Amino acid sequence: MAHTLDELVEMQRRADEAHAQVLALRDQYGPPTAAPWSQQQTETYETAWRAWRDLARDIQAAVTAHAKEQGENRYDIEAAVKKQARHPE
């Protein structure tokens, strides 16, 4: 599926938001080895982690496909997408 640069930026933002959620849960719960997490905490963290993993995988695949379709360097596309997603000004 062909994606526009704007769609890729939005996908990256969603992946970044999911990653922020994982980090927030990690900060909130603390290391699981210091004090074991409850079953609910474990499930919540694993769900958030899987969502981030899936979104990150999807954006990587979309960037690769976009670069191939446009005949551009994949790393240049990825850098442009991340820059626009994280620093839109």
* Start-to-end Cα distance in the chain: 28
C-alpha distances in Å from residue 87, one per residue of 9, 70, 72: 11, 24, 22
Tokens of residue 5, six digits: 């640069």
Q: What is the pLDDT of residue 89?
A: 78
Tokens of residue 9, six digits: 């930026």
Q: Is the pLDDT of residue 9 over 70?
A: yes
Q: What is the pLDDT of residue 1?
A: 60
pTM above 0.85, yes or no: yes
Q: What is the mean pLDDT of residues 70-79?
A: 96
Q: What is the pLDDT of residue 33?
A: 80
- Residues 48-69: tens digit of each pLDDT: 999 999 999 999 999 999 999 9
